[in-house]
Amino acid sequence: MSCVEKVDAWMSSNWLKIYADKTQQIWLRTRQQLDKLTVTKLSLLSAHVQLSTMVSDLGVLVDGQLSMADHVTSLCRSCFFQLRQLRLVRSSLTDDCAKTLIHAFISSRLDYCNSVLYSVSGQLLRKLQTVQNAAACVMTRSRKFDHIMPVLNELHRLPMV
């Protein structure tokens, strides 16, 4: 009995079924190895699963080289969307309320599963730092093109809530 048959038999005995349209599969290899692959789908006994270049697991986007570039791009996109929304209503918010909302919408997203970002490239870290800098500007009502270091120093002097 092959490995695929054992997985399929175990799933059937536990009343589970593989849904090909919801199941994701990815090859984790170097770029050169991925270029040599010719397999486009995995044939299980009960389903045919297409190979993906990127999969999502618990909200983390993983690509075949584990570069995390797609995850960081998606994370930055969603954080900047939230920052644009917060910037629109910032004048109506107290400083404590703005701080709470930025922690809720931005910091929580940056902190979620951040251990998968261990040893990512400096370029990706700069993108994430840009999000944090933009959040600091929204929190302190700084302008977009103000120098960020005085803003960050001001935030370090503020008491924690």
What is the pLDDT at residue 71? Answer: 95
Domain ranges of the chain: 3-52, 69-157
Confidence of residue 11 (pLDDT cuts 50, 70, 90): confident
Confidence of residue 160 (pLDDT cuts 50, 70, 90): low
Instruction: Tell me the average pLDDT across 121-137.
Output: 93
What is the pLDDT at residue 75? Answer: 96
Instruction: State whether the Cα torsion 136-139-145-147 is positive or negative.
Output: negative
Q: Which residue has the higher pLDDT, 85 or 64?
A: 85
Are 81 and 68 contacting, i.e. CB atoms less than 8 angstroms apart? no
Query: How many other C-beta atoms lie within 10 A of the C-beta of residue 50?
Result: 12
CA 54 to chain centre: 12
Least Cα distance to 144 among 125, 123, 130, 156 occurs for 130
